[in-house]
C-alpha cells in the first residue's frame, strides 16, 4: 500500500499508508491470527489440577478465559475490517493519482490534503471521532452480545474457571418452546410488554393532548402557570420521581395512610397483586408522560388554522366531532415519528418498571421474572442477578426484532420520513 | 333566551376545565411537596402517619453533606464533573454529526443513517456486560472517565433532533458564504452554529442531565467502589431495605439538592427545550 503515492511524490501520504499496512501485518502475525483462532475454539484449557507427562504431582493449570477469547477475537475482526477500509481508501487514492496524471494535473500536496479536511473532506474530519466511539462502545458490544446468544455462557459456565462453547441455535429454540418454563415466561413477558407499550403510549398521548387543549382554550387564564406546574415533573430527574412514587405507593406510604384516614383498608399497590401493580405502573407512567405530550403538542395545536374550527362550527359540528375530525388528524400527522419513538421507548422502558416494582410480584411460574417485568427488565435481571448471559442476549435479539418490525411497518409510512430533504 | 343558555354552558364548561386543571396540578405537585416536606422532617423512619412533619429541622441537610457514613459530597462532585465532561464532548459529537448529515453529501451518508436507525433498536443495556469488559480490558473500570466515555461514545447516534433543526436553516445562507470562499468548516462554525442557539442549548442540556439520571451503567461500572459513585447509585442504595429507616429523610434532602438545581436550569432554558423537541415539527 502507498506505492502509488510514493512514486507520485506524495511522500507523507504514501508513508502513512505503508505504516498502516506494516502495522496490520505485524499485529496479525504476533497476535491477530491466534486471536481469531481463539474465536473459533473459545478456549481449550479448563482451569484445574493437571498431571503433565513425566511429572509426579499435578499442578494447577491456569484456564483459558472464553470471555476474553471472544471479545479479543471480535476486536481483531473489527481491526481487520478497518484495515480493509484503509485498503480501499488507498486504492481510490491511487486511482485518483492515475486520472490526475492522465489529465496532466499535479497530484495534491500533503498540505492541500490537510486543507481538504476542512472543506471537501470535512465530513471525514467531523465523523471520525463519533464513529470510532460508536464502533467501540456500541457496535463492538452489540456484535459481542449477539455472538453470546449462540453460546452456553450461563450461570454454570462462568469464566474464569469454566469454559463456554458455541451451541448454535439452542438458546433460541429453548426460548420459543424447547424449554417449557423458559418459553412460558418468554411469551407471558412478551405479551405484557406489548400490552404495556400500547397502553402506556396511547394513554399518555391522548390524555396529554386533552390537557394541552384545555390549557390552550382561550377562556382559560394563567396558561403559563398551568404549563409550568406540569413541566416541573419533567425537570426532576426521573429516577428521583420514580423512587419517590415507589414510596408513595408503599404499604405504609402516604397514599395508604390517606386511605386509612378515610376509613378504607390498606391496598397492596406494588408488591403482591399483579393487577394492581400493572395499573399502578401505567398510572405513574401517566404522571411522568403527560407533561411531555402536553409540551410537544401545545405548539402544534396553536398552529392549527382557526378557520378550520370556525367552518366546522358553521357546519354544525360539536366540539367532540371537531376534536376527532380536525385536531387529532392534524396532530397525528405532525407527531407520527414521535409516537413511534415513544412506542419503542416504552417497549424498552426500564426505569418505570424497575424503579417502581422491580418486576414484582414475582412468581414461580416464571423463570426469574415477575408479573410486571418487561423483556428489558427481565434481560437486566438475568444479566445482573443470575449471570444467564446467553439467555439475556437471546432476549435482546428478540426485542430488537420486535422493535425493527414495529419501525419498519410504521416509520417508512410517516410523512416526515418521506419528505426528508424537502426543506432544502 | 337561547343566547343566555349558551353563555351559561360556556361558563359551566370553563369552570369545569378550571376544576380539572386544579385537580391535575394538585396531583402533579403532591409528590414534589412530599419530598420537600419530608426533607425537613425531624422524626426518623421512612413513613409517618402525617403528611406534614410534626417537628421541623435542617439537620437532614447538614447530615447529608457532613456525615461520615456515606460520602454524599463526593457523589455530588463526581456527578457534576462527569456531567460537565459528558456535556462538552457529546454536544460536540452530536452537533458535528448532525451538521454533516444535514448539509454534506457523501457516499457514506445513507448507510450511516440506516445503520444508526438499526443500532437504535437494540435495547441499550443489552451490551452493558460487554462494555464493562471492554472498559476493564483498557483498565478503566471504577473510574469516572469510564462513565464520561460511555455517555459520550454513543452521542453520534442521537443526531435526529439537531439534524431536523439544521435542515430548516435555509441553504441559501451557506451558499452565499461559499461563493465568498468559505470552507465547509467555516460554514459550520460561523454560519450554522450562531443560527442554532436553541438546539445547541437543548443538546447540551440533555447531555448534562443524563449522568444525573443514569443508574444502570454507573452501577455496573462502579461496582462497590462507593467513593466513585454518582448520586443516582448513591440515592438508590440509601433507601434499600436495610438502610431506609435511618436514611429516608436524608434521602429526601438529597433529592431536593439534586432536583432543585436541575429544575432551575431547566426553567431558565425551557424555551430552548421546547424549541428543541418540537424543532422541525412545528415549522413543518
In this structure, the answer to whether residues B20 and B83 fall within a common structural domain is: no
What does the pLDDT read at residue B85? 94
pLDDT single digits (tens) A47-83: 777 777 777 777 777 777 787 788 888 888 888 888 8
Closest residue in B to A230 (Cα–Cα): B28
Mean pLDDT of B86-110: 87
Is A232–B32 a contact, with Cβ atoms under 8 angstroms apart? yes
pLDDT at residue A111 is higher than 80: no
The number of domains in chain B is 2
Beta-carbon count within 10 A of B71 CB: 17
In a domain, A423, yes or no: no
Mean pLDDT of A90-97: 82
B145 and chain A: CB distance < 8 Å anywhere? Answer: no
Measured in angstroms, the CA of A25 and the nearest CA of chain B are apart by 23
B108 and chain A: CB distance < 8 Å anywhere? Answer: yes
Is A239–B104 a contact, with Cβ atoms under 8 angstroms apart? no
In this structure, the answer to whether residues B31 and B141 fall within a common structural domain is: no
In this structure, the answer to whether residues A228 and A123 fall within a common structural domain is: no
What does the DSSP assignment read for A357-388? Answer: TTTPSB-TTSSS-BTT--HHHHHHHHHHTT--
Residues linked to residue B196 through DSSP beta bridges, in sequence order: none
In this complex, the residue of A126, A145, A239 whose CB is nearest that of residue B130 is A145
CATH number (domain holding residue A328) = 1.10.3720.10
Q: Give residue A75's Cα distance to chain centre.
A: 21
Least confident window among A111-115, A257-261, B137-141, B218-222: A111-115
CB A346 within 8 A of CB A203: no
In this complex, the residue of B17, B46, B130 whose CB is nearest that of residue A247 is B46
Question: Distance between CA atoms of B193 and B204, rounded to whole angstroms?
Answer: 13
Measured in angstroms, the CA of A179 and the nearest CA of chain B are apart by 22
What does the pLDDT read at residue A283? 92
Q: How far is CA A22 from CA A18, A92, A95, in A?
A: 6, 19, 21
pLDDT single digits (tens) B102-141: 888 887 888 888 888 888 777 777 777 788 878 887 788 7
> What global pTM score does this model have?
0.82
What does the DSSP assignment read for A269-314? Answer: -SSS-HHHHHHHHHHHHHHHHHHHHHHHHHHHHHHS-HHHHHHHHH
Which of A124, A140, A168 terminates a domain? The answer is A168
Is A237–B150 a contact, with Cβ atoms under 8 angstroms apart? no
Closest residue in A to B112 (Cα–Cα): A131
In this structure, the answer to whether residues B190 and B167 fall within a common structural domain is: yes
pLDDT band at B260 (very low <50, low <70, confident <90, very high): confident
CB A372 within 8 A of CB A355: no
pLDDT at residue A423 is higher than 50: no
In this structure, the answer to whether residues A66 and A164 fall within a common structural domain is: yes
Report whether the peptide linkage leading into residue A361 is cis, meaning its omega lies within 30 degrees of zero. Answer: yes
B193 and chain A: CB distance < 8 Å anywhere? Answer: no
Q: Among all chains, which residue has been given the C-alpha cell 414521535?
A: A338
pLDDT band at A5 (very low <50, low <70, confident <90, very high): confident
Measured in angstroms, the CA of A364 and the nearest CA of chain B are apart by 23
Q: Among all chains, which residue has been given the C-alpha cell 415549522?
A: B283
Is A235–B266 a contact, with Cβ atoms under 8 angstroms apart? yes
pLDDT single digits (tens) A239-268: 888 888 888 888 888 888 888 888 888 888
In this structure, the answer to whether residues A134 and A231 fall within a common structural domain is: no
In a domain, A283, yes or no: yes
The contacts of residue B36 (CB under 8 Å, 6+ apart) are: B252, B256
In this structure, the answer to whether residues B161 and B93 fall within a common structural domain is: yes
B112 and chain A: CB distance < 8 Å anywhere? Answer: yes
**What do you get for the CA distance between the two ends of chain B, in Å?**
45
pLDDT band at A422 (very low <50, low <70, confident <90, very high): very low
In this complex, the residue of B100, B134, B157 whose CB is nearest that of residue A71 is B134
Which of A119, A140, A168 terminates a domain? The answer is A168
Is B134–A287 a contact, with Cβ atoms under 8 angstroms apart? no
DSSP-derived 3-state class of residue B37: helix
Is A241–B31 a contact, with Cβ atoms under 8 angstroms apart? yes
In this structure, the answer to whether residues A274 and A300 fall within a common structural domain is: yes
ipTM of the complex as predicted: 0.82
CB A182 within 8 A of CB A174: yes
What does the DSSP assignment read for B181-227? Answer: T--HHHIIIIIIGGG-HHHHHHHHHHHHHHHHH--HHHHHHHTT-GG
- Interface A–B counts its CB contacts (< 8 A) at 256
pLDDT band at A177 (very low <50, low <70, confident <90, very high): confident
Q: Which residue has the higher pLDDT, B70 or B90?
A: B90
Question: Distance between CA atoms of A306 and A1, rounded to whole angstroms?
Answer: 67
Measured in angstroms, the CA of A180 and the nearest CA of chain B are apart by 24
pLDDT at residue B235 is higher than 70: yes
Question: Reduced to 3 DSSP states, what percent helix, strand and coil does chain B have, rounded to the nearest 5?
Answer: 80, 0, 20
In this structure, the answer to whether residues B146 and B212 fall within a common structural domain is: yes
In this structure, the answer to whether residues A21 and A100 fall within a common structural domain is: yes
Question: Distance between CA atoms of A190 and A253, rounded to whole angstroms?
Answer: 31
What does the pLDDT read at residue A199? 94
Which of B44, B60, B76 terminates a domain? The answer is B60
In this structure, the answer to whether residues B98 and B234 fall within a common structural domain is: yes
Measured in angstroms, the CA of B222 and the nearest CA of chain A are apart by 14
In this structure, the answer to whether residues B191 and B209 fall within a common structural domain is: yes
In this structure, the answer to whether residues A92 and A160 fall within a common structural domain is: yes
Question: What percent of chain A shows pLDDT beyond 70?
Answer: 95
Is A379–B25 a contact, with Cβ atoms under 8 angstroms apart? no
In this complex, the residue of B125, B137, B273 whose CB is nearest that of residue A380 is B125
Report whether the peptide linkage leading into residue A390 is cis, meaning its omega lies within 30 degrees of zero. Answer: no
Measured in angstroms, the CA of B131 and the nearest CA of chain A are apart by 6
Q: Which of A136, A126, A163, A138 is nearest to A42 (CA)?
A: A163
In this structure, the answer to whether residues A164 and A180 fall within a common structural domain is: no
Question: What percent of chain A shows pLDDT beyond 90?
Answer: 7
Is A68–B133 a contact, with Cβ atoms under 8 angstroms apart? yes
Q: Which of A144, A142, A135, A175 is nearest to A66 (CA)?
A: A144
Closest residue in B to A417 (Cα–Cα): B164
Q: Which residue has the higher pLDDT, B2 or A297?
A: A297
CB A387 within 8 A of CB B132: no
Q: Which domain holds residue A372?
A: 176-418
Q: Angle between the B2-39 and A238-248 helix axes, to the nearest 10 degrees?
A: 90
pLDDT band at B279 (very low <50, low <70, confident <90, very high): low
Q: Which three cell numbers stand for residue A145?
A: 452480545
In this structure, the answer to whether residues A300 and A161 fall within a common structural domain is: no
Closest residue in B to A383 (Cα–Cα): B129
Is B121–A404 a contact, with Cβ atoms under 8 angstroms apart? yes
Q: Which domain holds residue B116?
A: 63-283
Question: Distance between CA atoms of A257 and A112, rounded to whole angstroms?
Answer: 75
Beta-carbon count within 10 A of A30 CB: 10
pLDDT at residue A424 is higher than 50: no
In this structure, the answer to whether residues B56 and B184 fall within a common structural domain is: no
In this structure, the answer to whether residues B130 and B249 fall within a common structural domain is: yes
In this structure, the answer to whether residues B142 and B276 fall within a common structural domain is: yes
B49 and chain A: CB distance < 8 Å anywhere? Answer: yes
Instruction: Identify the H or E element spanning A61.
Output: strand A59-61
Question: Distance between CA atoms of A85 and A82, rounded to whole angstroms?
Answer: 5
Measured in angstroms, the CA of A117 and the nearest CA of chain B are apart by 9
In this structure, the answer to whether residues A102 and A217 fall within a common structural domain is: no
In this structure, the answer to whether residues A295 and A325 fall within a common structural domain is: yes
In this structure, the answer to whether residues B15 and B148 fall within a common structural domain is: no
In this structure, the answer to whether residues B21 and B85 fall within a common structural domain is: no
HSE-CB for B92 with a 13 A CA cutoff: 15
Chain A positions in Cβ-Cβ contact with residue B209 (cut-off 8 Å):
237
Count of H-run helices and E-run strands, chain B: 14, 0
Eight-state DSSP code of residue B230: -
Mean pLDDT of A29-45: 79
What does the pLDDT read at residue A421? 46
Mean pLDDT of A394-398: 89
In a domain, A424, yes or no: no
The contacts of residue A346 (CB under 8 Å, 6+ apart) are: A196, A197, A200, A201
Measured in angstroms, the CA of A59 and the nearest CA of chain B are apart by 28
B138 and chain A: CB distance < 8 Å anywhere? Answer: no
The number of domains in chain A is 2
How high is the mean pLDDT of chain A? 82
In this complex, the residue of B109, B157, B239 whose CB is nearest that of residue A243 is B239
Mean pLDDT of A415-419: 53
In this complex, the residue of B28, B93, B277 whose CB is nearest that of residue A133 is B93
Mean pLDDT of A272-296: 88
pLDDT single digits (tens) A122-168: 777 788 888 888 888 888 888 888 888 898 888 887 777 778 888 88
Which of A137, A168, A199 terminates a domain? The answer is A168
Mean pLDDT of A394-405: 88
In a domain, A81, yes or no: yes
B24 and chain A: CB distance < 8 Å anywhere? Answer: yes
Is B125–A299 a contact, with Cβ atoms under 8 angstroms apart? no
Amino acid at each position: 500500500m502507498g506505492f502509488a503515492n510514493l512514486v507520485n511524490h506524495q511522500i507523507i501520504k504514501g508513508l502513512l499508508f505503508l505504516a498502516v499496512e506494516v502495522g496490520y501485518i505485524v499485529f496479525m502475525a504476533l497476535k491477530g491470527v491466534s486471536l481469531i483462532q481463539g474465536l473459533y475454539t473459545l478456549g481449550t484449557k479448563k482451569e484445574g489440577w493437571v498431571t503433565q507427562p513425566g511429572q509426579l504431582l499435578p499442578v494447577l493449570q491456569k484456564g483459558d478465559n472464553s470471555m476474553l477469547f471472544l471479545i479479543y477475537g471480535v476486536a481483531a475482526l473489527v481491526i481487520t475490517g478497518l484495515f480493509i477500509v484503509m485498503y480501499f481508501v488507498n486504492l481510490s487514492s491511487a486511482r485518483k493519482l492515475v486520472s490526475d496524471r492522465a489529465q496532466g494535473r499535479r497530484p495534491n500536496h500533503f498540505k492541500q490534503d490537510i486543507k481538504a479536511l476542512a472543506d471537501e473532506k470535512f465530513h471525514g474530519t467531523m465523523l471520525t471521532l463519533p464513529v470510532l466511539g460508536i464502533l467501540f462502545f456500541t457496535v463492538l458490544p452489540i456484535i459481542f452480545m449477539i455472538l453470546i446468544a449462540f453460546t452456553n455462557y450461563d450461570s454454570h459456565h462462568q469464566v474464569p474457571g469454566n469454559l463456554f462453547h458455541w451451541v448454535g441455535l439452542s438458546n433460541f429454540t429453548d426460548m420459543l418452546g424447547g424449554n417449557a418454563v423458559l418459553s412460558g415466561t418468554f411469551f407471558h413477558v412478551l405479551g405484557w410488554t406489548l400490552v404495556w407499550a400500547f397502553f402506556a403510549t396511547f394513554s399518555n398521548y391522548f390524555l396529554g393532548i386533552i390537557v394541552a387543549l384545555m390549557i390552550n382554550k382561550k377562556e382559560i387564564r394563567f396558561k403559563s402557570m398551568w404549563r409550568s406546574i406540569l413541566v416541573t415533573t419533567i425537570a426532576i430527574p426521573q429516577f428521583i420521581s420514580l423512587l419517590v412514587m415507589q414510596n408513595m405507593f408503599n404499604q405504609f406510604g402516604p397514599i395508604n395512610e390517606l386511605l386509612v384516614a378515610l376509613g378504607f383498608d390498606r391496598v397492596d399497590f406494588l408488591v403482591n397483586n399483579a393487577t394492581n401493580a400493572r395499573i399502578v405502573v401505567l398510572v405513574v407512567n401517566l404522571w411522568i408522560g403527560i407533561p411531555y405530550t402536553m409540551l410537544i403538542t401545545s405548539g402544534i395545536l396553536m398552529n392549527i388554522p382557526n378557520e378550520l374550527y370556525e367552518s366546522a362550527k358553521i357546519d354544525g359540528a360539536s366540539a367532540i366531532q371537531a376534536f376527532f375530525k380536525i385536531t387529532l388528524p392534524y396532530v397525528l400527522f405532525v407527531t407520527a415519528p414521535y409516537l413511534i419513538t415513544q412506542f419503542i421507548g416504552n417497549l424498552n422502558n426500564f426505569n418505570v418498571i424497575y424503579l417502581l416494582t422491580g418486576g414484582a410480584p414475582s412468581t414461580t411460574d416464571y423463570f426469574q421474572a415477575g408479573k410486571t417485568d418487561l423483556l428489558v427488565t427481565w434481560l437486566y435481571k438475568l444479566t445482573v442477578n443470575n449471570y444467564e448471559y446467553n439467555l439475556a442476549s437471546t432476549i435482546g435479539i428478540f426485542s430488537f426484532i420486535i422493535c425493527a418490525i414495529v419501525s419498519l411497518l410504521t416509520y417508512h409510512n410517516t410523512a416526515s420520513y418521506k419528505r426528508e430533504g424537502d426543506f432544502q | 333566551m337561547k343566547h343566555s343558555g349558551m353563555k351559561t354552558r360556556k361558563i359551566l364548561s370553563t369552570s369545569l376545565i378550571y376544576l380539572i386543571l386544579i385537580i391535575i396540578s394538585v396531583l402533579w405537585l403532591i409528590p414534589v411537596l412530599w419530598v420537600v416536606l419530608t426533607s425537613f422532617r425531624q422524626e426518623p423512619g421512612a413513613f409517618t402517619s402525617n403528611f406534614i412533619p410534626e417537628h421541623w429541622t435542617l439537620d437532614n441537610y447538614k447530615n447529608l453533606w457532613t456525615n461520615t457514613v456515606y460520602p454524599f459530597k463526593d457523589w455530588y462532585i463526581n456527578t457534576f464533573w462527569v456531567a460537565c465532561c459528558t456535556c462538552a464532548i457529546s454536544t460536540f459529537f452530536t452537533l458535528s454529526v448532525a451538521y454533516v448529515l444535514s448539509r454534506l453529501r457523501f457516499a457514506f451518508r445513507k448507510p450511516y443513517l440506516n445503520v444508526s436507525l438499526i443500532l437504535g433498536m437494540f435495547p441499550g443495556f443489552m451490551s452493558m456486560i460487554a462494555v464493562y469488559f471492554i472498559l476493564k480490558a483498557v483498565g478503566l473500570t471504577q473510574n469516572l472517565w469510564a462513565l464520561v466515555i460511555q455517555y459520550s461514545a454513543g452521542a453520534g447516534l442521537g443526531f435526529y433532533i439537531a439534524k431536523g433543526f439544521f435542515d430548516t436553516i435555509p441553504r441559501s445562507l451557506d451558499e452565499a458564504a461559499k461563493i465568498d470562499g468559505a470552507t465547509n468548516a467555516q460554514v459550520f462554525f460561523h454560519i450554522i452554529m450562531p443560527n442554532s442557539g436553541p438546539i445547541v442549548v437543548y443538546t447540551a442540556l440533555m447531555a448534562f442531565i443524563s449522568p444525573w439520571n443514569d443508574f444502570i451503567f454507573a452501577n455496573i461500572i462502579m461496582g462497590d467502589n462507593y467513593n466513585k459513585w454518582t448520586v443516582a447509585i448513591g440515592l438508590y442504595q440509601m433507601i434499600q431495605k436495610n438502610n431506609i429507616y435511618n436514611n429516608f429523610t436524608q434521602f429526601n434532602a438529597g433529592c431536593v439538592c439534586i432536583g432543585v438545581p436541575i429544575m432551575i436550569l431547566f426553567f431558565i432554558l425551557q424555551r430552548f427545550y421546547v424549541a428543541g423537541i418540537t424543532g422541525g415539527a412545528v415549522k413543518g
